[in-house]
Chain A
Amino acid sequence: MLLTKKRALALSAILATSALALTGCSGAGGAKQDVTLTLATVSNPQMKDMEELKGEFESANPGIKVNFVQMEEGDLRAAVTADVASGAGQYDIVTVGAYEVPQWGANGWLQDLTPALKADATYDVEDILPPVRDALSVDGKQYAVPFYGESSILMYNKEMLAAAGVTISNNPTWQEVATAAQAVKDQGIADSGICLRGKPGWGDLFAPLTTVVQTFGGSWYDMDWNAQVNSPEFTEAVTFYKDLLANAGQADPVSYSFTECLNLLQEGKTAMWYDASVAASILEDAKTSKVAGKMGYAHAPTYKTAESGWLWSWNLAVPESSKNKEAADKFVLWATSKDYQQLVGKTLGWTRVPPGARISTYEIPEYKEAAAAFAPITLEVMSSVNPSQPGVNPQPWVGIQYVTIPEFQDVGNQVAQLVADAIAGRISVADALNKGQEIAQKAGDAHKK
């Protein structure tokens, strides 16, 4: 009994080793230049679709495998920053937000994609939405290609506004929006007239609030990197935002960001919402949204500027430290090509086509039909925003709802906390912004020439 057991063990061990050796041989003898690309990405639905479809790329490009590493936005930012900054070369393709692309490009961390994009005739680089391309380029060199992009729009419940007897034009002013929100709230049609982000964070509260500041004539910095946080225009904008929240906004604003406002609007507890255009596709999904078909969409509300929408894109880039740049370029071009959009539309459904990157997306008949409610306004807004000068005054960086200096996450976050204190009434807006001015100036000083 014991002997046979031992013998069986020995036999299986021999079998296992020879099997290992055999597979090792076949691996070495087969495709010699097998490459596995590691792609770090944010765990958003569009990225998951990309992973689902990567097999198509792999079968069209034998010898290249793509390995996805999905992370939450904050983790991704930290992991990718550490990797590209130290030149560790762990990732061959990285997903980078519009905020980082110009900074990392200028630092020499990302490969200049311009030659690769021009070399591929079918890719049609001119088809990429011009404002998005501008935001991803430094001195004419494009360091990343957009996978999908978004702007900010005003979304409103048509039935509620009709019940309150107010209308919203296609290019509303903030005053118009405030009046409408007040009417909804005063007549008790909904608990609140409008939902706006109040959760402290540079990407939460300050995404919409920076666009408000800019259309009110304010800015984070002037052309010489002097902080402008306690300027009269910045103060007026924050006071307006705070008053609008207090008079007609949702209760407990500090708890609210994108997801929370989305829920509130879907549940029919608020009449308007100013946020990312990508929300429209969720609101129009009849399976999950109670307000599908009842929504109207308008440009971002303005005051002193013609447009006030923000501009964001998630982009694919190849770090300079990657050891498989050629294969990585191939994948990046594939995932952002016109053919990829067709592939998503045909296999996963037309509403899942990544929006806001290419003009031609909005010319696909099936997409136009599937996204009729929000596609035209998205294209309209995204083509009309100006990331080089979104506000009244010129600014020394390209970008709308952020400042492309490394310190901005930190500055925006700290000032957002102060503004949240002001929204809660613990300190005055003036005090909050005076403190914010100091924080912003310290960061600005580092960039003075």
Chain B
Amino acid sequence: MTTIVQKPGAQAVPPVGQAEKKKVRLSRSLILPALIFALVLTQIPFLVTIYFSMLNWNQLYPNEVGFNWFANYVTVFTGPDFLSSLGATVLITGSSVVLSLLFGLGFAILLDRKFPGQAIARTLLITPFLIMPAAAALIWKWSMLDANVGMVNFALTTLGLPPVAWNTDLPAVTIIMLLTWQFTPFMMLILLAGLQSQSKDVLEAASVDGSGPIRTFQWITLPHMRQYIEIATLLGSIMLLQVFDPIAIMTKGTGGTKTLSYLLYERAFIGLDVGQAAAFGVVTVFITILVATIALRTLFKVFMNGGDR
């Protein structure tokens, strides 16, 4: 397969004439304002955050604001909060991404075939993603998981099982469950797009060659889906790293649910320590970049077919 497909980069670059060069210069200068605007809009706040992270700035002591260079970072890395919080972030983000990816793939495969009422089913399946995160957390807190009037415990007791005190006894599971519910539609949409872009000819050829549905899925669909799974994982991880609402509404950071973003909120709005919160923010950004890069470079080799993109 790889021998037939020619990479676009491998094509010989045609020589560029003077007129061509001028054209390129013009188009570049036209893009410049937008580029500068985008850079200013995205990078200035980040630079300001880095500046804040080097200040000793507790809002409750406004007269003691001053530079303390890397003291906030020392607190971040030597304090007890960071490692446990990083662990919680990895656990919650990781499990939610994997679970919603699996469920998303399942639903995408189900939706990929024609059946009556397909459009309605698709809309219903997307709904959890369209609900505001805070509203979703409230629905889960009150309607679903409440120990007293919640539907989940009602179902459990009806089945003869003991009721569960979700937020008290299983806080991390509660949050992962909610996030999986909320992000499955997102994964499903991306994966569905991937499935529908699959060439029907190839699938037909596979079945003519005697490949069953499982082998077709493993050897044809999955390699084709690789880039969709990658992008879904990447976007999902970035979004889930920032998750805040359900933790603030349901568990308040207890029992291994204090993720980096919730910790950051606590430092900024309960500790009112702007410098420390900014330091946590900077560290979180670098971790996100690091994870995204590693994930893209290495993790997805498992999906690669013949080591090629």
Contact = CB atoms under 8 A, between A and B. Distances in A.
State yes or no: do A and B come from one complex: yes
A34 B149 CA distance: 54
Given A81-B60, A86-B62, A421-B255, A198 B168 contact: yes
Contacts of B250: 255
A301 B62 CA distance: 40
Given A201-B252, A421-B254, A255 B272 contact: no
Nearest to B253: A417
Contacts of A410: 266, 270-273
Interface in A166-212: 191, 198-202
Interface in A376-421: 406-407, 409-410, 413, 417, 420-421
A429 to B, nearest CB: 15
A78 B269 contact: yes
A264 B252 contact: no
Contacts of B59: 81-82, 85
A74 B270 CA distance: 9
A264 B142 CA distance: 12
B267 to A, nearest CB: 8
Contacts of A420: 168, 252, 254-255
Contacts of B266: 410, 413
Contacts of A253: 165, 168
A424 B148 contact: no
Nearest to B272: A81
A198 B251 CA distance: 11
B270 A85 contact: no
A238 interface: no
B95 interface: no
B270 A264 contact: no
A163 B21 CA distance: 93
A250 interface: yes
Given A199-B252, A406-B60, A264 B148 contact: yes
Interface string B150-163: 00000000000001
A425 B165 CA distance: 12
A406 B61 contact: yes
Interface residues of B, number: 31
Contact of A424 (B62, B146, B169): B169
A15 to B, nearest CB: 38
A269 interface: yes
A224 interface: no
A52 interface: no
Nearest to A424: B168
Given A406-B61, A417-B253, A255 B167 contact: yes
Interface string B211-250: 0000000000000000000000000000000000000001
Interface string B41-79: 000000000000000001111100000000000000000
B269 A74 contact: yes
- Most chain B CB within a 10 A radius of its CB, from A198, A255, A424: A255
A355 B289 CA distance: 54
A420 B141 CA distance: 17
Contacts of A278: none
Contacts of B169: 252, 424-425
Contacts of B149: 267
Contacts of A78: 269, 272
B166 interface: yes
Nearest to B267: A410
B104 interface: no
A74 B268 CA distance: 12
A191 B270 CA distance: 35
B128 interface: no
Nearest to A405: B60
A254 B171 CA distance: 9
B24 to A, nearest CB: 43
A81 B60 CA distance: 8
B148 A406 contact: no
A86 B168 CA distance: 40
Nearest to A104: B60
A201 B254 CA distance: 10
9 A-B pairs closest in CB distance: A406-B60, A251-B147, A252-B147, A252-B165, A85-B62, A254-B168, A410-B271, A200-B252, A420-B254
Given A251-B147, A253-B168, A254-B255, 18 more contacts: A82-B59, A85-B60, A86-B62, A103-B60, A198-B168, A200-B254, A201-B252, A255-B141, A255-B146, A255-B168, A255-B250, A264-B148, A267-B148, A406-B61, A417-B254, A420-B168, A420-B252, A424-B254
Interface of A: 74, 78, 81-82, 85-86, 103, 191, 198-202, 250-255, 264, 267, 269, 406-407, 409-410, 413, 417, 420-421, 423-426
20 contacts: A81-B59, A85-B62, A200-B252, A200-B254, A251-B163, A252-B145, A252-B147, A254-B167, A254-B168, A254-B255, A255-B166, A267-B148, A407-B60, A410-B271, A410-B272, A413-B270, A417-B254, A420-B252, A420-B254, A421-B255
